[in-house]
Copies of this chain bind each other. A is one copy, B any other.
């Protein structure tokens, strides 16, 4: 069933059928009615490939998601889909592996699907430097500051990872912790980890202390597994330790499990702070103290920004606030001076 068949069946020409299908004005009520009836009766659907091949741009918006099982991104996709549902922009969501090059993938999909805008959930500035030149539609990176890249069609919405991490560490310091280790990611690979690392250094310095890369920073993937194994390794190596800052909630959860398995209690023996504010953190026992990024806020800002850029506005780089959720996994180990 093609529009050609529709034309034959209805007695109208190809052009008229096409116009009806595209809701164009210059069509008689009569024609519209009979053709739409036929469409309904035969369950006709346009061939998307043909349509795409013909049009040079569609109204659709592409969302490239980095990481198939990233809870925060999954939640953001849902939020974004509900936001776009109220517009006339269909969304194409594409999930890629955490290690894949999101910009190349987007460039390929731009050729294939001709979207009028791109949204990146997660991203690495290095990749943008390399291939973003091939993308010419308004784009927004979420959770990564793209300010320094200087592309005119690339905006970004992120939380200040440096300040966020600093806030977490300062909270630990304020609670009296001095023997702190940090479980994070490889700074050479992940911009996010690099920023959060900076925040740690900052917080220590501000308190007249030094953050020592060698002895205080352990790296791995943002996963339960690394949290668990990394923590075990730390416990083997170090004797003195009162608090852990994990650069992701999943790491924190893995770490807490490792501590429990070694007979240590959280927060009684060791305090653990996370980052992200995943839903599971509010259900975990103990409830996770963490730096919460607002999924809704990130999604809404990105949505607004992309829409306005698609209407011609200039690229912008926004920062959305984070919140320190002081829950149950961190405790005060010194008397509060009064």
| A residues with CB within 8 A of B | 43, 45, 47-50, 52-53, 68-69, 71, 74-75, 77-78, 81, 93, 95, 97, 108, 111-112, 134, 224, 227-228, 253-254, 256-257, 260, 279-280, 282-286
Stoichiometry (number of copies): 2
Would you give 6 A-B contacts (Cβ < 8 Å), ordered by A?
A48-B111, A224-B282, A224-B283, A227-B283, A256-B283, A284-B285
Chain B residues contacting A95 (CB-CB under 8 Å) are 77, 93, 95
How long is the Cα–Cα vector from A286 to B224 in the complex, in angstroms? 16
* Interface-centre pick from A97, A134, A280 (highest chain B CB count, 10 A): A280
Query: B69 contacts A74, CB within 8 Å?
Result: yes
Q: How far is the CB of A289 from chain B (nearest CB, A)?
A: 15
Query: A257 contacts B283, CB within 8 Å?
Result: yes
How long is the Cα–Cα vector from A108 to B75 in the complex, in angstroms? 25
Select which of B74, B111, B256 is within 8 A of A47 by beta carbon. B111
Chain B residues contacting A69 (CB-CB under 8 Å) are 71, 74-75, 78
How long is the Cα–Cα vector from A223 to B284 in the complex, in angstroms? 14
Q: How far is the CB of A191 from chain B (nearest CB, A)?
A: 23
Query: B49 contacts A112, CB within 8 Å?
Result: yes
Residue of B whose beta carbon sits closest to that of A131: B43
Select which of B68, B111, B260 is within 8 A of A285 by beta carbon. B260
Counting from the closest, the 3 A-B pairs by CB-CB distance are A69-B74, A49-B52, A48-B112
Q: How far is the CB of A149 from chain B (nearest CB, A)?
A: 20
How long is the Cα–Cα vector from A286 to B284 in the complex, in angstroms? 10
Query: A111 contacts B45, CB within 8 Å?
Result: yes
How long is the Cα–Cα vector from A199 to B18 in the complex, in angstroms? 54
Q: How far is the CB of A231 from chain B (nearest CB, A)?
A: 11
Chain B residues contacting A52 (CB-CB under 8 Å) are 49
Query: A280 contacts B45, CB within 8 Å?
Result: no
Query: A49 contacts B53, CB within 8 Å?
Result: yes
Q: How far is the CB of A204 from chain B (nearest CB, A)?
A: 29
How long is the Cα–Cα vector from A234 to B284 in the complex, in angstroms? 20
Chain B residues contacting A254 (CB-CB under 8 Å) are 283
How long is the Cα–Cα vector from A77 to B227 in the complex, in angstroms? 23
How long is the Cα–Cα vector from A81 to B253 in the complex, in angstroms? 27
How long is the Cα–Cα vector from A65 to B285 in the complex, in angstroms? 30
How long is the Cα–Cα vector from A256 to B45 in the complex, in angstroms? 48
Residue of B whose beta carbon sits closest to that of A43: B134
Chain B residues contacting A45 (CB-CB under 8 Å) are 108, 111
Residue of B whose beta carbon sits closest to that of A78: B68
Residue of B whose beta carbon sits closest to that of A98: B78
Query: A224 contacts B279, CB within 8 Å?
Result: yes
How long is the Cα–Cα vector from A191 to B112 in the complex, in angstroms? 37
Chain B residues contacting A74 (CB-CB under 8 Å) are 68-69, 74
Q: How far is the CB of A111 from chain B (nearest CB, A)?
A: 6
Chain B residues contacting A285 (CB-CB under 8 Å) are 256-257, 260, 284-286
Query: A283 contacts B228, CB within 8 Å?
Result: yes
